[in-house]
Amino acid sequence: MSVETISEEELRKSLDMKKLPKHIAIIMDGNGRWADRRNLPRVDGHKAGIDSVQEVVKVCGELGIQVLTLYAFSAENWRRPTLEINALMKLLLDQLHEQTPDLNEKNVRVNVIGDTDRLPRKVTYELQRSIDITKNNTGLILNLALSYGGRQEILRATKSIASEVESGKLKFCDINENVFARYLYTSEFPDPDIIIRTSGELRISNFLLWQCAYSEFYITDVLWPDFRKKHLLLALISYQRRKRRFGGI
């Protein structure tokens, strides 16, 4: 199936509403290349990516998806030039400020995972405001991965567990996969059923390393600023055609 030749309506009809994933996670990649191809500054690629974020959030809400995790800023993205980091933080700040009333109206709950202590104070303030305003909403959980790294998350969980074993709050023999998962940022969410990566790169880039054990991967060459409803529906149809065996037969 190709996006160009098929209509949104046809795609929507091919979707089995009873077999939708509970948790969709997206590595939004290709903003820089999108801008390069147009001889624009990289930041313009990030700005253009906002439209894709808004569309994907809207569609996930309408479909009744439980959790949408967006990899918006990785722990390693702090290595980018200060100018780009500042522009990304400003975008985030403005988006949180502008979009929170609309997200709230759409019954979306905002959540964040990652080392938020590293974020600028203004961003953490706006994030907390958005989380507080939307905390009682019962629709889509928009989970923003910010200053997030999978290895860092696993290390953080391990340290918390070690400290609780040391203080006697947790018994060594009681540590198992379920207990471990309770110490991750994502403790309240199911593991992602599908991880979508745009721009064709075939890697996980330190994203949800523990949680992706049995996720279905969907890689598309489409650059993030070009990713639209049709692309998301195609990804979901591909997901629904797979046989998930979780190691069984």
Which residues of the chain form contacts with ligand FPP (CB under 6 A)? Answer: 28-33, 46, 49-50, 53, 70, 72, 77, 88, 91-92, 95, 144, 199, 224
Q: Which is nearer to ligand FPP, 83 or 162 (CB)?
A: 83
For the CB of residue 68, give the shortest distance to ligand FPP in the complex, in Å.
10
214: its two tokens:
């049995």
For the CB of residue 8, give the shortest distance to ligand FPP in the complex, in Å.
22
Q: Which is nearer to ligand FPP, 130 or 183 (CB)?
A: 130
For the CB of residue 248, give the shortest distance to ligand FPP in the complex, in Å.
35
For the CB of residue 57, give the shortest distance to ligand FPP in the complex, in Å.
9
Q: Which is nearer to ligand FPP, 10 or 201 (CB)?
A: 201
Q: Is 77 a catalytic residue?
A: yes
| Rounded distance between C-alpha atoms, residue 183 and residue 3, angstroms | 40
Q: Which residues contact 173 (CB under 8 A, 6 or more apart)?
A: none
Amino acid identity at 220:
T
Closest CA to 34 of 198, 235, 207: 198
Answer yes or no: are the C-beta atoms of 120 and 90 closer than 8 Å.
no
Query: Of 29, 191, 193, 226, which one is the catalytic site residue?
Result: 29
Answer yes or no: are the C-beta atoms of 211 and 192 closer than 8 Å.
yes
Q: Which is nearer to ligand FPP, 199 or 215 (CB)?
A: 199
Q: Is 176 a catalytic residue?
A: no
Q: For residue 198, what are the CA distances in angstroms to 79, 190, 226?
A: 21, 22, 9
Query: Of 44, 77, 104, 137, which one is the catalytic site residue?
Result: 77
Environment class of residue 34 by beta-carbon count within 10 Å: exposed (0-12), middle (13-18) or buried (19+)?
A: buried
Q: Which is nearer to ligand FPP, 31 or 211 (CB)?
A: 31
Q: Which residues contact 73 (CB under 8 A, 6 or more apart)?
A: 88, 92, 114, 145, 146, 147, 148
| Rounded distance between C-alpha atoms, residue 155 and residue 57, angstroms | 30
For the CB of residue 7, give the shortest distance to ligand FPP in the complex, in Å.
26
Query: Which residues are identified as catalytic?
Result: 29, 77
